[in-house]
């Protein structure tokens, strides 16, 4: 094509590719690569980003559950320390009398209704 132009010098040999052919091949390769990039970006937007967001939500939920379990364990340990303390055991009879008195008072107030 360009070989027929009068002001264009002839190629040194037939083995040397024409510059237009090289440019066209490069343009074709660039187009192919851009198309592949577009496909990858679409896959990212459609599949991967939502999947990552879902995994992050799962992680956040698991972290909340873990924090709740840790709080429950801390509360159970604190309760164990209180109920195994000397003062708790020493005041047990007074608590039983208080419970008994509250039960009698509740029954007595319930009979008046």
Per-residue pLDDT of 95-113, as tens digits, reads 999 999 999 988 888 755 5
Per-residue pLDDT of 21-76, as tens digits, reads 899 999 999 999 999 999 999 998 888 889 999 999 999 999 999 999 999 999 99
Backbone angle region of 11, left / alpha / beta, with phi > 0 → left and psi within -120 to 50 → alpha: beta
State the Cα–Cα distance between residues 31 and 98, nearest whole angstrom: 86
Q: Which of 11, 7, 30, 28 is nearest to 19 (CA)?
A: 11
Q: What is the pLDDT of residue 108?
A: 82
The encoded tokens of residue 84 equal 């195994």
Whether 83 is in a domain gets the answer: yes
Tell me 16's DSSP state: S
Whether 2 is in a domain gets the answer: no
Tokens 């990552």 map to which residue? Answer: 52
Name the band, by pLDDT with cuts 50, 70 and 90, for residue 10: low
What is the percent of the chain with per-residue pLDDT over 90, rounded to a whole number?
Answer: 62
| Residue 1 predicted with pLDDT over 50 | no
Range of the domain at 63: 21-103
Task: Confirm whether pTM is higher than 0.95.
Answer: no
Structurally, the chain folds into a number of domains equal to 1
Of the ranges 2-6, 10-14, 20-24, 28-32, the best mean pLDDT one: 28-32
């Amino acid at each position: 094509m360009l070989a027929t132009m009068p002001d264009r010098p002839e190629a040194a040999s037939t083995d040397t590719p024409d510059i237009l052919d090289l440019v066209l091949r490069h343009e074709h390769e660039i187009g192919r690569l851009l198309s592949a990039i577009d496909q990858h970006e679409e896959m990212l937007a459609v599949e991967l980003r939502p999947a990552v967001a879902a995994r992050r939500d799962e992680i956040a939920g698991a972290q909340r559950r873990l924090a709740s379990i840790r709080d429950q364990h801390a509360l159970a340990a604190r309760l164990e320390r209180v109920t195994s303390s000397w003062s708790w055991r020493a005041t047990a009879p007074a608590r039983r009398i208080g419970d008994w008195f509250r039960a009698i008072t509740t029954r007595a107030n319930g009979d008046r209704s």
